[in-house]
Structure 1
Amino acid sequence: MNILITGANRGIGAELLRTAKAQGHTTYGTTRASDDDTLLPLDVRDPASFMALADRLSGTPLDLVVCNAGVYLDKGLEVDSLTDTTLWADTFATNVTGVYLTAMAFQANLATSAAPKIAIISSQMGSSERAGGNSPIYRASKAAALNLGRNLAVALADRNVAVGIYHPGWVQTDMGGSAASINTQDSATGLLARFDALSMDTSGCFEMWNGDAMPF
């Protein structure tokens, strides 16, 4: 497959990029700010940045776009201290609007594929059935990304674009912390298998990295 992965400079995104390359896929990774010149510049909060990258990739076929870029700005903050509206705005700009802009920006590239796919990295923290009371900004943004993915699955069905939403697991990254239960390689390998299995028959799914169904 020809795969584009946003937020590929670290964590799960970097491991997805590395693992996909090792599996023989043609890969393109993006980053907002990095000294790695093998990654393409993209700020998922900025429509002009998408226009620039879409122009750069014009005519480049893509089979899969992975919406991975995300932030967790209220990690560790007390629930009654989240009155700074920039935390809310910046989180939703990246985790929700950024997903929408990513999905829309590369429709022409996906149209070249016989089986185009969009994968959205959400989280179990976006599940209403698993509300934990902490990190409400992040949880709300991931719930919105889940809802957005379900709506995109319907909206893009007539274009034959399959959309899947995924929980990558509690992963040992800067975001997940060292106490997390799985490493990035296990998560990335599992996620890539889920992306490969994604089809129009399963479009709109919300799954764990290992294929288990997630509660909405």
Structure 2
Amino acid sequence: MNILITGANRGIGAALYSAAQSRGDTVYGTARTPGDSDLMPLDVRDPESCTALADRLKETPIDLLVCNAGVYLEKGQPVDSLTDTQLWADTFATNVTGVYLTAMALLPHLKQSNAPKLAIISSQMGSSERAGGQSYIYRSSKAAALNLGRNLAVDLKPQGIPVGIYHPGWVRTDMGTNAASIGTDESAKGLLQRFDALSLVTTGCFEMWNGDAMPF
């Protein structure tokens, strides 16, 4: 299977990259600044960067695109101080627009696959039914990513491309902190199982890493 994972330089993205490689998949990973790694450069906020990645892949079919790149820029800030509109714009540019730009740029590569799939990493913090206060910008962006995924599922279904939206769990990463309940390896293993199970029957699903259905 050819898998492309955005934001594969750290956290859940890096764990997914490693886990998929370990089971024998051909994995392409991206990072905004790859450095000396084998990752390919991609700034999901930039349409030209997305197009450049698609051009670099040439005629390579992508069986699974994992839109994982994300930011949590207001972490730790009080909710009455989130008046910097650039903070909102930067968060949505990565967490929402970046998903759309990546998916559209790589759609021709998905169509070259015999069994294409699109996976979007959102969060339980994007669930309106589980609104818990705080982190307004991040929560809003992940809710928008969920909504985007649900609508992509409708429009891509006639093209044979199922779309799944996933909560990776509260994971021990820089974003999730060391107090989180599970490690990246456990999350990645569960997410890969969810991606494997994704089909046109389940397209539009919002699930946890362990397969539990998430409330919208």
TM-score normalized with structure 2 length: 0.99
Any conservation in 1 of the 2:34–2:40 contact (CA below 8 Å)? Answer: no
In structure 2, the residue corresponding to 1:175 is in which secondary structure? coil
Cα distance in 2 for residues equivalent to 1:19 and 1:170: 18
Q: Which amino acid counterpart does residue 33 of structure 1 have in structure 2?
A: T
Cα distance in 2 for residues equivalent to 1:74 and 1:132: 16
Q: Can you list the C-alpha shifts for 1:161-192, whole angstroms capped at 9, x where unaligned?
A: 00000000000000000000000000000000
Q: Which amino acid counterpart does residue 57 of structure 1 have in structure 2?
A: L
Q: After the TM superposition, which parts of structure 1 deviate over 6 Å for at least 4 consecutive aligned residues?
A: none
> Which aligned pairs between 1:34-45 and structure 2 lie closer than 5 A?
34-45=34-45
Partner of 2:178: 178
Partner of 1:84: 84
Partner of 2:143: 143
Q: Which amino acid counterpart does residue 175 of structure 1 have in structure 2?
A: M
| Further displaced range: 109-118 or 171-180 | 109-118
**1:132, CA displacement in angstroms?**
1.1
Cα distance in 1 for residues equivalent to 2:33 and 2:201: 37
Q: Which amino acid counterpart does residue 15 of structure 1 have in structure 2?
A: A
> Which aligned pairs between 1:100-111 and structure 2 lie closer than 5 A?
100-111=100-111
Q: What's the Cα RMSD here?
A: 0.6
> Which aligned pairs between 1:55-204 and structure 2 lie closer than 5 A?
55-204=55-204
Q: Which amino acid counterpart does residue 22 of structure 2 have in structure 1?
A: A
**1:37, CA displacement in angstroms?**
3.2
When the two structures are aligned, how many residues end up with a matched partner? 216
**1:33, CA displacement in angstroms?**
1.1
Cα distance in 1 for residues equivalent to 2:10 and 2:159: 32
Q: Which amino acid counterpart does residue 28 of structure 1 have in structure 2?
A: Y
Cα distance in 1 for residues equivalent to 2:203 and 2:58: 26
| Percent identity for Structure 1 against Structure 2 | 74
**1:34, CA displacement in angstroms?**
2.9
| Further displaced range: 27-36 or 186-195 | 27-36
